[in-house]
Amino acid sequence: MSKIPRKVVLAYSGGLDTSVILRWLIEEYRCEVVTLTCDLGQEEELSGIEEKALKTGASKAYVEDLREEFARDFIFPLLRAAAVYEGRYLLGTSVARPLIAKRLTEIAAAEGADAVAHGATGKGNDQVRFELAVYALAPHLAVIAPWRIWNLKSRTDLNNFAEKHDIPLSAAAKRYSMDRNMLHLSYESGELENPWEEAGPGTHTLSVPPEKAPDKPEYVEIDFEAGDPVAVNGQRLTPAALIRTLNGIGGRHGVGRLDMVENRFVGMKSRGVYETPGGSILYAAGRDLEGICMDREVLHLRDALIPRYAAAVYNGFWYSPERDCLQAFMDKSREVLTGTARVKLYKGGIYPVGRKSPNSLFRKDLATFERDDVYNQADAYGFIRLNGLRIQGYGRGRRQPASPTRADEAGGTCCDR
């Protein structure tokens, strides 16, 4: 930093990293620190967090309920894009960072702060996500990333610092690096740093292990309107309440659990465990309903763009022109998605079993294996012949030449000699 900050707004979760950072900022810069804790659906994790921040040295502690905004303006756009990173990760941490950064800059303006701070490490993706968002929204603010400048080099060092300064920590926070919101709960560190070792029982919080799930399946119906989910089993719910309801249903059946090694934006591979019960149900139900609502070419084009969209979100470019343009296409492509998807949950699995829509493009009179008077099967002859013209030409060029004769192998015909 070019100058010592006077007042800093810290993105504060109350976990190991940000608890230590709060005290470290005060001691390092002799500055005033205001904390911001965003309620994004962490549930019990926010209990007593304001008191903890003040006790640790914050001059003021904001705890804000952003659950509906998070669900409506961040999670739902993500779901409309059917976005998954590297084909599996539902971006639960990635999509939360731009909202936290947005609120950080707003509070910094209200408090007259000249800097913001975050607890992301210099090895991870979150530092990029936070700082790119701040650059987009309030480029005049300085950004402090303690992990890149202090002399604490490990989680062991942080635990020792916390004990020295009487900062209370949960047992789970000491074992894992965790991030939780209404969409997911992630785990890193501990035994997870060995890709071969199975994740321990402490990585099951939102969902039961599949082997402990009920022996009887449960059916769930989800209603969609113009691309967004609006009801569960016929009950209309707000976006946040809908996700919370599906988290409870999915959690008791052990669905939405992922253990993967992914490619971080900064260049390394990282192993994480994710629990995303409600989000996984919404993803599966939405993708299934797309099958009867979306035009084939639009669906295929949208699917081709999913990796680009997911990478933009994962890499921290939520507030970017490319994500805005992609979002416009994703929203337009899914505006036909009105209807109901029915899924069966059983022992960790999500199985679509039924779908219906007033916008359905499925025609039984065309698809039936019974007699129909609509489709002339003889038309397929010309269709295949026309499509085969290109393949015939390609095949002709690939055909192998005839095997040489014995005379050829001997050096030519008798006339040649």
Residues with a catalytic annotation lie at 17, 97, 126, 177
Q: Are 186 and 262 in contact (CB under 8 A)?
A: no
Please tell me whether residue 102 adopts helix, strand or coil conformation: helix
Structure tokens at 190: 């501990």
Neighbours of 33 (CB within 10 A): 27
**Structure tokens given for 367:** 């698809």
- Give the side-chain half-sphere CA count within 13 A for 157: 8
- What does the angle CA 250 – CA 251 – CA 257 come to, to the nearest 5 degrees? 90
Hey, CA dihedral for 84, 147, 161, 56, is it positive or negative? Answer: negative
CA separation for the pair 270, 219 (Å, rounded)? 35
Q: If residue 375 lies in a helix (H) or strand (E), which one and from where to where?
A: none
Q: Give the residue carrying structure tokens 């989680």.
A: 155
Radius of gyration of the chain (CA): 28
- Taking a C-beta distance cutoff of 8 angstroms, is the pair 249, 345 a contact? yes
